[in-house]
Amino acid sequence: MPHAPRRAALRATLRDRELDALLVTNLLNIRYLTGFTGSNAALLVSADSDDATVFCTDGRYLTQAEQQVPDLERVVDRPCDVALAGRAAKAGLRRTGYESHHVTVDGLDTLADAADQVELVRTPGLVEELRLVKDDAEIEALRMACAAADRALADLVEHGGLCPGRTEREIARELEGRMLDHGAAGPSFESIVATGANSAVPHHRPTDAAVHAGDFVKLDFGALVDGYHSDMTRTLVVGKAADWQRELYDLVAAAQAAGRQALAPGTALSAVDAAARGVIEAAGYGEQFLHGLGHGVGLQIHEAPALSKAGDGTLLPGMAVTVEPGVYLAGKGGVRIEDTLVVRQGAPELLTLTTKELVVV
């Protein structure tokens, strides 16, 4: 991962905001900027150079920090944020930003005591703004995560994992195990397996409900590779598909295609949602589309940008997002179809390659 260029981009932002440094305390942002994967750390990013940037962790991670953060000055101390606030004061970093969306009120008081004579400036979301657009290494990690999920689902279907009598929990466990077999470090999130009427619950948690012939089975799952999360939903039918199931599936597939086609640089986030939602509303099912169209993916399974009615901003090349419309008929069944894609000039890059044709097993 190109951590040094990311820190260089952050330094440019700090200089634009007339900040001497940024105290980073969000562990995901620290991982993004350094590669460190431990559970306790802080990072003081100097606006001048990496030579003046300091990483801090505690003694449990001494060896790990040497391996993962070899290119920065390392300090072993605790609490890390307080130690680096003190370093900012000693270094004369008069205007130091802090992650106000992450630091608690009590934590700020403690930092202020340690950072004597330093003006602590609220800077919410500075690193997250950089994370909006993925670099090549991040997109490759996402490709690998999506591939692990694709292969796991293919194996599940090929080996009869969706046969009548199996429970949602059994299917979820097998699906997650198969993702591990294909290189995932783990699932991106708790897998959703929903059969029959449960498929009409958008975020149903797997239960001991058994699959029956004629059921929709909705599978929403993802793989975790190098810290990056894939996200995919497919809805299948076990046995024979009824006419209403095919009609509902075709509607959601058309809406999903419209959403994918709207993914272009410069398009308003709300307009992407509207492109897919309009298809469903025109068919009379607008009230049964119960959530936003999609979200960003990366070091978090849900991160900016938000593709929704209230989405603020526009798409940029390199953003990784999901497109996942759904229609949910309470007590009967529901369909969601979801892909992970990267916004590109011309057409988006599709990362989840499992077919979107209705699969009947």
Question: Mean pLDDT across the stretch 89-98?
Answer: 96
The pTM score is 0.96
Percentage of the chain surpassing pLDDT 70?
Answer: 100
| Cα–Cα distances in angstroms (integers) from residue 214 to residues 36, 44, 65, 122, 244, in the given order | 48, 58, 53, 55, 11
pLDDT in tens, 141-155: 999 999 999 999 999
Q: Inter-axis angle of helices 136-158 and 168-181, to 10 degrees?
A: 130
Query: Is the pLDDT reported for residue 1 higher than 90?
Result: no
Note the pLDDT of residue 223.
98
Question: Mean pLDDT across the stretch 41-50?
Answer: 98
- Residue 348 binned pLDDT confidence (cut-offs 50, 70, 90): very high
Read off φ and ψ for residue 206, nearest 5 degrees: -55, 140
- Residue 280 binned pLDDT confidence (cut-offs 50, 70, 90): very high
Name the residue among 19, 11, 1, 13 with its Cα closest to residue 94: 19
- Residue 294 binned pLDDT confidence (cut-offs 50, 70, 90): very high
Query: Is the pLDDT reported for residue 94 higher than 90?
Result: yes
> Token match 């004369």: residue?
92
Please give the span between the terminal C-alpha atoms of the chain, in angstroms, as a whole number.
40
pLDDT in tens, 108-139: 999 999 998 999 999 999 999 999 999 999 99
Question: Mean pLDDT across the stretch 246-267?
Answer: 98
pLDDT in tens, 159-178: 999 999 999 999 999 999 99
Q: How far apart are CA 324 and CA 255, in angstroms?
A: 9
| Cα–Cα distances in angstroms (integers) from residue 355 to residues 12, 209, 225, 236, 296, in the given order | 43, 26, 22, 11, 22
Query: Is the pLDDT reported for residue 33 higher than 90?
Result: yes
Average pLDDT, the chain: 97
Q: Which two tokens stand for residue 213?
A: 């012939």
pLDDT in tens, 306-319: 999 999 999 999 99
Q: Which residues contact 320 (CB under 8 A, 6 or more apart)?
A: 134, 138, 139, 142, 296, 297, 298, 340, 341, 342, 343, 351
The rounded radius of gyration (Å) of the Cα atoms in the chain is 23
Domains assigned to the chain? 3-131 (3.40.350.10), 136-350 (3.90.230.10)
Q: How far apart are CA 260 and CA 323, in angstroms?
A: 7
Q: Which two tokens stand for residue 111?
A: 């930092």
Contacts 24+ apart (CB under 8 A), 239-244: 239/164, 239/212, 239/213, 239/214, 239/215, 239/360, 240/213, 240/214, 240/360, 241/358, 241/360, 242/214
Note the pLDDT of residue 114.
95
DSSP, res 250? H
Q: What is the full DSSP assignment across 347-359?
A: SPEE---S--SPP
Identity at 87, one-letter amino acid code: R
pLDDT in tens, 176-224: 999 999 999 999 999 999 999 999 999 999 999 999 999 999 999 999 9
